[in-house]
Structure 1
Amino acid sequence: MGYETIASPVNLGGLVLKNRIIFAPTSFGLPEERLLERLRRIAAGGCAMIIVGDVPAGRSPFGSLYSARGFARYRRLCEAVHREGCLICAQLHQSDSDLAGMVRYLPGVLTKRYSMDQLRELLNQRVGPYISSLPAEKVAGITASFGSAAVLAAKAGFDMVQVHGDRMCGSFASPLFNRRQDRYGASVVNRARFAVEAVTSIRRSMPDMPIDFKLAVRQEEPHYGNAGMLVEELPVLIPLLEQAGVTSFHVALADHSRLSDTIPPANHPYFSSQGCFLRYADEVRSLTRLPVCGVGGLTDPDFVEEQLKSGRIDCAAMSRQLLADPDWPRKVTEGNTDAVRQCVRCNRDCLGGIQRHEGVHCVFDREQV
């Protein structure tokens, strides 16, 4: 089978990618130097673009574009990735964690008494009260910060920005968390306002910058995902985002649930199949002419080529697969698919590494040393 579509360029809002493979935003939990080398290695493997996950839209105690040290760190990432002939995108986000309310759990985190899933559950319990009680003026200030962050991201060397449609965007979008009755709550339009204002702020500050939107979709029957919007609400949301300035969509299951749902293993009861989240990309595809990126257990070159060639998706995003074999894009585009090491979706050292507070790794890492 040929892989002409995987190898073909694609235009995302004026930015031309050399092929259709994107490294999906990933929280690594690694020290700076090890993270830099990991992303450089992935870039060297031939993917077209790396999305750097969770870049704070505002000032953050954990490092951001606004501090000299944080800015320098992101500039180094951009330079390292660019040297390998790869583009780089900043995923701008605003945390919806009630940090002040979480102080009581800090000792348990530091002593590893709480697992990541337990900490996640504790955080999620506080999301609703926190975002529902934020003053409207403060919310408007937060959405405005996305524009300032985009300006800094461009200066640091990022080629594109992505608005993280989960985190605070996703919690505002979902009535499971958002109990507000003002202009940021109740109706679908009002619940979408946070995301729309964030995109609008970027577009005003950076008129020509491509803006990707990570669209978080939740579903019922069965219930998966707590943040984000239901499929039935997408016909309202997508035109609003397009009008605000979004140039492409990256579609996935909504967060704020179990990590094993958003990063599903091969034996997941509902998301076991390859391309497990493409059902949500199908819904988005039916509502927009903008490029759509799909994600979710994409490992097999033949399957990925088929989805791209049929026009079901325009780009394929991978995280675990490029951790298992960073050279997947180069091997596939060169026709050397027999040498591809496919991710088995075991989640032992990638998701498992994060849950054990050890950082993201792969069970194949020992073979790559």
Structure 2
Amino acid sequence: MKPSPYPTLLSPLVVRNLHLRNRMVMGAMHTRLESMDRPVERIQAFYRARAEGEIGLIITGGISPNLAGRMEDDAPAMTADADLDWHRAIVESVRGTSTQVCMQILHAGRYAKFDGCVGPSALRARINKFTPHALTTQEVYETIAAYASAARAARDIGYHAVEIMGSEGYLINEFTAPCTNQRTDEFGGSFEGRIRLPIAIIQAVRQAVGPDFAIIYRISALDLVEGGMTGDETLELARRAEAAGADILNTGIGWHEADVPTVSHNVPRGGWAYAVRRIKDAVTIPVMASNRINDPAVAESILESGQADLVSMARPLLADPDFARKARLGQAQRINTCIACNQACLDNIFKRQTATCLVNPRAGRELDWVLQPAVPVKRIAVVGAGAAGMNFAFNAAERGHMVTLFEAGPELGGQLRLARNVPGKTEFDEMLRYFRNRLTEEKVTL
């Protein structure tokens, strides 16, 4: 048998009750599929496709521990018995596969998009029109208890782990950073006061779920905002999180309001791994790298060089639900690579639309766009080998049609060939490479 080109990436990992088949994690994404006004079957199908694609762990989009912490009015929570059936459906989506599923507990804090949002202090985020109510000390303690209750419910329903979201500028991160925490009680002021909330939450969650259930804490490796945590403070928080009961540290890069690009195409692949390495060197538990990891060779390099123990990929799993399986089979050239355009994922979310993917329009539409065998089979001519023509051609051929693709120019690709020449847009080459490979695989005549 030919040796795997990604031995570290494909190696298993056991952490308490978590038994991961590989080191690849689908990071939490807000897709709006999880919104409570949408049928749960849609997000079930979305997760199921990624589980069948052999990803080791799926981390859900953020689930609020209380009503004040929801991202939007219709965002999911774990607050009442009425929520339990929805969560059971999520757990059921991976049943029968080797993939495990982790519920992310996220309190949106001052990023919540409704009047009545809360934060450590009454300071409005520049990306939100609502000014938060400053939590009272009693409300902070109630929030800690809500995290513990949500984690206990997640364990009882059948999730394999919980992730406590402490990065990207959400509530916990707002408490840890001086720029957003102007409190004068025990949860503000000094470094000890500012980290009191995350440590108390981890401790409360550990007490609630017991010693055998995995807890992931997502720490902000770099805030990238003026008045954020210092590097030394971040490392000390990592150590304290481990001591408090965290089993794995996931890493976030930058707040949502940061001016520094963190996930766009002009960020080098794996470009933030250096910040993750500093955290890994400070703790003894596994650490997860994230952001702009869209290629199995890059992921393997990060792990093999000791910069991290796992890799979290979110948008790459929008682009190709079979990313992990193709990596295992040594078929990296068959991966539909995320080009970091953000045009159909992040842009859609900011417009309050469902996320999908420029290179994979089926993402989020798994129940709508199911390719059935063609009856009857036809001979089809497709004129023009731009992005639309190529996509139609290989999809029609996959259904069984006999397809001929005509192009007057010397090369395939149409405007994709122009797009890739824009500075910083070289990732569009990956889209063109994938389309060409699919045409060959489906035996489209050119």
TM over 0.5: yes
Matching residue of 1:85: 98
Which residue of the other structure, out of 58, 61, 77, is the alignment partner of 1:50? Answer: 58
| Equivalent position SS for 1:184 | coil
Matching residue of 1:309: 304
Matching residue of 2:148: 147
Q: For 2:282 and 2:357, locate their aligned partners in 1 and report how far apart those are by CA, in whole Å.
A: 37
How far does residue 37 in structure 1 lie from its aligned partner after superposition?
Answer: 1.2
Unaligned runs of 5+ in 2: 118-123, 364-368, 370-446
Q: For 2:88 and 2:142, locate their aligned partners in 1 and report how far apart those are by CA, in whole Å.
A: 26
Deviates more, 1:69-78 or 1:224-233: 224-233
Q: For 2:304 and 2:346, locate their aligned partners in 1 and report how far apart those are by CA, in whole Å.
A: 31
Question: What letter matches 2:359 in structure 1?
Answer: F
- CA deviation string 1:136-193 (max 9, x = no partner): 1210111122111111001221100111103211100011110012110111111001
- CA deviation string 1:321-356 (max 9, x = no partner): 111111010011111222111111111111122123
Which residue of the other structure, out of 195, 201, 204, is the alignment partner of 1:201? Answer: 204
Q: For 2:86 and 2:329, locate their aligned partners in 1 and report how far apart those are by CA, in whole Å.
A: 33
Go from structure 1 to structure 2 and tell me whether the alpha carbon gap of 1:124 and 1:180 turns closer, same or farther (over 3 Å shift).
farther
Q: For 2:234 and 2:252, locate their aligned partners in 1 and report how far apart those are by CA, in whole Å.
A: 13
Matched, 1:254 2:259: no
Go from structure 1 to structure 2 and tell me whether the alpha carbon gap of 1:76 and 1:367 turns closer, same or farther (over 3 Å shift).
closer
Which of the pair has the greater relative contact order for Cα pairs under 8 Å at 6+ separation?
1
How far does residue 34 in structure 1 lie from its aligned partner after superposition?
Answer: 2.0
Asked whether the 8 Å contact 2:111–2:125 carries over to 1, the reply is no
Asked whether the 8 Å contact 2:17–2:160 carries over to 1, the reply is no
Sequence identity (%)? 24
Go from structure 1 to structure 2 and tell me whether the alpha carbon gap of 1:189 and 1:80 turns closer, same or farther (over 3 Å shift).
same
Matches within 5 A, 1:94-113: 94-97=107-110, 102=115
Asked whether the 8 Å contact 1:82–1:88 carries over to 2, the reply is no
Return the index of the structure with the highest Cα Rg. 2
TM value normalised by structure 2: 0.71
| Equivalent position SS for 1:211 | strand
Q: For 2:26 and 2:297, locate their aligned partners in 1 and report how far apart those are by CA, in whole Å.
A: 18
Question: What letter matches 1:362 in structure 2?
Answer: C
Go from structure 1 to structure 2 and tell me whether the alpha carbon gap of 1:314 and 1:227 turns closer, same or farther (over 3 Å shift).
farther
Matched, 1:277 2:272: yes
Go from structure 1 to structure 2 and tell me whether the alpha carbon gap of 1:225 and 1:124 turns closer, same or farther (over 3 Å shift).
farther
How far does residue 102 in structure 1 lie from its aligned partner after superposition?
Answer: 2.5
Q: For 1:79 and 1:226, locate their aligned partners in 2 and report how far apart those are by CA, in whole Å.
A: 43
Unaligned runs of 5+ in 1: 105-118
Which residue of the other structure, out of 3, 6, 9, is the alignment partner of 2:6? Answer: 3
Q: How many residues align?
A: 342
How far does residue 81 in structure 1 lie from its aligned partner after superposition?
Answer: 1.6
TM value normalised by structure 1: 0.85
How far does residue 33 in structure 1 lie from its aligned partner after superposition?
Answer: 2.8
Asked whether the 8 Å contact 1:293–1:317 carries over to 2, the reply is yes
Matching residue of 2:44: 36
Go from structure 1 to structure 2 and tell me whether the alpha carbon gap of 1:67 and 1:338 turns closer, same or farther (over 3 Å shift).
same
Go from structure 1 to structure 2 and tell me whether the alpha carbon gap of 1:366 and 1:92 turns closer, same or farther (over 3 Å shift).
closer
How far does residue 101 in structure 1 lie from its aligned partner after superposition?
Answer: 7.1
Matches within 5 A, 1:1-369: 2-30=5-33, 31=38, 32-59=40-67, 62=74, 63-97=76-110, 102=115, 121-123=126-128, 126-127=131-132, 130=133, 133-166=134-167, 167-208=170-211, 209-219=213-223, 224-225=224-225, 229-258=229-258, 261-262=261-262, 264-267=263-266, 272-366=267-361, 369=369
Q: For 1:265 and 1:164, locate their aligned partners in 2 and report how far apart those are by CA, in whole Å.
A: 22
